[in-house]
Amino acid sequence: MKYPAYGTTDVGKKRELNEDSIAVLGEQGVYVVADGMGGHNAGEVASSIAIETVRRFFKTSAEDEDMTWPYKIDPTISLEASKLTVGIQFSNRSIYRKQLENKAYAGMGTTIVAMLLLKEKGELYIAHVGDSRAYRSYNGTLEQITEDHSLVNEYLRAGQLTPEQAKSFPHKNVIMRALGMKENVMVEVHKHIVRPGELYFACSDGLTDMTQDEEIRSILRKHQNDSLEVIATALIKSANDNGGKDNISIVMFKVEE
């Protein structure tokens, strides 16, 4: 099997600063999007810390299998899933402590969505905190894998809002969970078995707030035989054409025979 991958980020049409950060670590099979938040450039700092902490943790743990992890392994999930969640928890602690060290960074945080692909096993672990999302596309279908940790999604799950009402909900951007908010964070993680022909991508809400799922599905269908760079570029163009109100980030990989 082959797993070509690609990642890109765009500032959008309305923001002066890109507070998103991404990582495509092909050798480790790690693909991450972090969407920073907080004033005075702090969002950029938070997302950068998250990405670099995850990157460093996977690199160091791969080189030294006996290294001491900053958090205990969760015995209820696999070692690989634990590694992904520990990397994110470690990022959360780093961001939280940075705020304590420097008051200029008070209140900063970031969402994160991370994919860990075990190429030899064909297994994929997806972990996330916040409203950055992961999707799977296969044979013209589009499936949202993650559920947003947001206020509007809480109301949707409780049946207090309909999907139609949610579109005009005045507090759509209120996040219930993010890195840096507290000293510890709960990371949601899922396991998937990948199949040839599938495309997986993670993105910030700069894409999904501007481009509805049906439009995303149409773009993927139109460019299904094109390169991942062409696909990602088309998705970002769509978000910008629809207003580009936020930074837009995408990381993706495809499963090929």
* Structure confidence by residue, pLDDT tens digits, 205-253: 999 999 999 999 999 999 999 999 999 999 999 999 999 999 999 999 9
Judge whether residue 167 has pLDDT over 90: no
Mean pLDDT, the chain, whole residue set = 92
Task: Write out the H or E segment, with its range, that includes residue 144.
Answer: strand 141-144
Model confidence band, residue 151 (pLDDT cutoffs 50, 70, 90): confident
Task: Write out the H or E segment, with its range, that includes residue 142.
Answer: strand 141-144
Residue 40's pLDDT is: 59
Judge whether residue 71 has pLDDT over 90: no
Q: List the domain boundaries for the chain.
A: 5-141+179-254
Residue 157's pLDDT is: 81
Judge whether residue 79 has pLDDT over 70: yes
CATH topology of domain 5-141+179-254: Phosphatase 2c; domain 1 (3.60.40)
pTM above 0.75, yes or no: yes
Model confidence band, residue 38 (pLDDT cutoffs 50, 70, 90): confident
Q: What percent of the chain has pLDDT over 90?
A: 75
Q: One-letter amino acid identity for 28?
A: Q
Judge whether residue 178 has pLDDT over 80: yes
Cα-based distances in Å from 9 to 29, 112, 173, 207, 222: 19, 14, 20, 10, 21
Average pLDDT over every residue of 83-94: 95
Judge whether residue 73 has pLDDT over 80: no
Please name the residues in contact with 80: beta carbons below 8 A apart, sequence gap of 6 or more: 116, 118, 123, 125
Q: End-to-end alpha-carbon separation of the chain, Å?
A: 5
Identify which of 114, 116, 132, 124 has the alpha carbon closest to the alpha carbon of residue 177. 132
Tokens representing 118 are 């075990």
104: number of CA atoms within 13 Å, CB side?
5
Task: Say if residues 115 and 126 touch (Cβ distance below 8 Å).
Answer: yes
Judge whether residue 65 has pLDDT over 90: no
Q: Three-class SS of residue 69?
A: coil
Alpha helices in 64-150 (DSSP H): 79-101
Average pLDDT over every residue of 36-60: 90
